[in-house]
């Protein structure tokens, strides 16, 4: 009579056993699926997070890294990699993109690519020396365990690029790098890094320039000499009587300036990098004076260029080049050039102003140059009988000016003059105050700025708020009576 109870018990036991076996099977299937996902061709780790670093060696296998891993002095922030069984010569990955955080000081070799290069033209690239605490990605077991010719593109602005020298420069440097990113693949891609600090730079072409001025081999003069800015019989103390040659070369409808010193035995080029390579350049002035107090004549060159862009695009900007005479040759002084450009409130410079800025150094300021502005009438360029403007400087101090402005516009040409169809705009004995390097006049919503273009010219611009009669125009360059530019051909 107990048999039905026993049968029910056995049936219940078998159901439980089947359920357990089914659960184990599902778990194994899930584990296999997870393994398949981990071995998939493409792995993106941006969603992965780990609690602690796992690797402190600068060399790493891209197949095994995780977010947060310490690689040398940096840490993995994110990565993406593509694995394939068909990688060239047994490479671990076909592609890898690894972003690091942190900073590291490294020493290595740099070069700046020429401007006519198809890829990365004008850019600065850097190769870290071996045995540095810097991430290094392994690509295979053997041979060539690491990448060869591994250059990092430095993300730099134009001013910082110039610190590494003109295009085609090479040398050695110690740098502090941040935000390093490895970009590895079959196409033409490159690693990138941000530059936080330059510890030191030594350019190879500096040494080459010094040696060339003592060598016996001369170089060929490129371009057409500019007669009015070339000078003979310059008595350089270390090289004897020499000729200074300015030359203009035309490349792809662009004019490029070259400068040479031709001595008794050889000719050397003074290499530099133009501040605005795509602009139109001309040599404004050259002078040979001792600028650093060592008793040797140095070379100062003022190059004017126009960009053609913006409301002041047709007004020249002066670039200053300074080459110091040394026992070995002529070396460009970026420090002195920067001293002049940072201290000057002028858009255009001449030799006397450059020498004054070199003498006063960091003590120079906009206020002292405004105080030197001559009182009197300044006429808007292009003024004629049909329209124009005159700005009269009445009183000048180091932080303000008192001025008047009288502008007019004739409607209808000669007939308008006869009929008296003249619109007039005036400001009478108003005060503008120094703000930065400009003098600013404000009256309600109306604002007018006055800036120093040169010791003899100013630039006026208002904010476009209606103030004067129809057609009356006050914006532009204003100059005093023009005189012969004594710096146009200066040789001593």
What tens digit of pLDDT does each residue of 362-420 get? Answer: 556 788 889 889 999 999 999 999 999 999 999 998 899 999 999 999 988 888 888 88
Choose one of 157, 177, 202: the last residue of a domain: 202
Domain boundary among 300, 329, 362: 362
Q: Are residues 333 and 224 part of one domain?
A: yes
Confidence check: pLDDT of 143 > 70: no
Q: Is residue 306 part of a domain?
A: yes
Q: How far apart are CA 378 and CA 82, in angstroms?
A: 68
Residue 328 sits in the same domain as residue 413: no
Q: What is the spatial distance between Cα 237 and Cα 223, in angstroms, rounded to a whole number?
A: 28
- Distances in Å between the Cα of 127 and the Cα atoms of 134, 157, 167, 174, 191 are 11, 19, 17, 11, 10
Six token digits for residue 25 = 């099977």
Average of pLDDT values for 317-323?
94
Threshold 0.95, pTM exceeds = no
Q: Do residues 457 and 341 both lie within one domain?
A: no
Structurally, how many domains does the chain consist of? 3
Residue 369 is assigned to a structural domain of this protein: no
Residues 6+ apart with CB under 8 A from 122: 112, 113, 114, 115, 161, 167
**Are 225 and 179 members of one domain?**
no
| Chain segment 197-214, per-residue pLDDT in tens | 999 988 885 543 343 344
Contact residues for 367 (Cβ-Cβ < 8 A; gap 6+) = 398, 399, 434
297 shares a domain with 269:
yes
346 shares its domain with 429: no
Q: How far apart are CA 321 and CA 229, in angstroms?
A: 14
Same domain, 183 and 256: no
Last residue of a domain, one of 319, 337, 362: 362
User: Domain residues for 128?
Assistant: 59-202
Among 78-82, 277-281, 372-376, the range of highest mean pLDDT: 372-376
108 and 68, same structural domain? yes
The helix (H) or strand (E) run that includes residue 207 is helix 204-212
What's the rounded Cα separation, in Å, for the pair 402 and 396?
7
Instruction: Tokens for 265, please give them.
Output: 């035995």
What are the start-end ranges of the E strands in 212-311?
224-225, 231-236, 240-251, 254-262, 267-269, 280-289, 298-306
Report the distance separating Cα 486 and Cα 480, nearest Å: 16
The yes-or-no verdict on residue 224 having pLDDT over 80 is: yes
């Amino acid at each position: 009579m107990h048999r039905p109870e026993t049968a029910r018990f056995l049936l219940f036991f078998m159901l439980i056993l089947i359920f357990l076996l089914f659960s184990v099977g599902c778990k194994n299937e899930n584990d296999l699926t997870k393994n398949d996902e981990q071995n998939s061709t493409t792995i993106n780790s941006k969603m992965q997070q780990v609690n602690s670093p796992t690797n402190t060696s600068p060399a790493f296998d891209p197949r095994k890294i995780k977010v947060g891993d310490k690689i040398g002095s940096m840490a993995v922030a994110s990565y993406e990699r593509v694995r394939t069984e068909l990688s060239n010569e047994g490479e671990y990955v076909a592609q890898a993109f690894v972003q690091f955080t942190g900073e590291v000081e490294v020493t290595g070799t740099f070069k700046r690519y020429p401007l006519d290069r198809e890829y990365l033209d004008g850019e600065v690239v850097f190769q870290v020396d071996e045995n540095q605490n810097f991430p290094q990605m392994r690509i295979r077991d053997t041979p060539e365990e690491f990448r060869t010719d591994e250059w990092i593109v430095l993300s730099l602005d134009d001013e910082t690029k110039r610190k590494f020298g003109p295009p085609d420069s090479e040398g050695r440097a110690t740098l502090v790098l941040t935000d390093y990113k490895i970009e590895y693949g079959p196409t033409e891609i490159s690693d990138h890094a941000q530059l936080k600090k330059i510890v030191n730079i030594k350019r190879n072409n500096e040494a080459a320039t010094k040696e060339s001025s003592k060598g016996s081999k001369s170089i060929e003069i490129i371009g057409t000499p500019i007669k009015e800015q070339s000078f003979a019989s310059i008595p350089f103390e270390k090289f004897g009587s020499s000729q200074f040659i300015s030359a203009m070369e035309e490349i792809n409808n662009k004019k490029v300036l070259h400068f040479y010193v031709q001595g008794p035995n050889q000719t050397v080029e003074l290499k530099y990098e133009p501040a605005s390579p795509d602009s139109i350049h001309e040599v404004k002035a050259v002078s040979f004076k001792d600028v650093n107090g060592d008793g040797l004549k140095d070379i100062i060159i003022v190059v004017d260029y126009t960009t053609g862009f913006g409301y002041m695009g047709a007004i020249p900007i002066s670039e200053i080049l300074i080459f110091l005479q040394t026992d070995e040759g002529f070396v460009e002084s970026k420090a002195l050039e920067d001293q002049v450009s940072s201290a000057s409130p002028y858009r255009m410079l001449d030799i006397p102003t450059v020498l004054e800025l070199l003498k006063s150094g960091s003590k120079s300021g906009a206020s002292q140059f405004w105080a030197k502005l001559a009182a009197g009438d300044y006429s808007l360029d292009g003024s004629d009988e049909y329209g124009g403007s005159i700005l009269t400087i009445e009183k000048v101090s180091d932080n303000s000016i008192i001025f008047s402005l009288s502008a007019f516009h004739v409607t209808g040409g000669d007939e308008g003059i006869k009929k008296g169809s003249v619109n007039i705009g005036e400001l009478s004995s108003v005060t503008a105050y120094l703000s930065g390097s400009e003098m600013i006049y404000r009256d309600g919503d109306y604002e007018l700025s006055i800036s120093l273009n040169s010791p003899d010219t100013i630039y006026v611009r208002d904010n476009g708020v209606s103030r004067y009669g129809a057609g009356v125009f006050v914006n532009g360059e204003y100059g005093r009576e023009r005189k012969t530019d004594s710096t146009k051909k200066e040789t001593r």
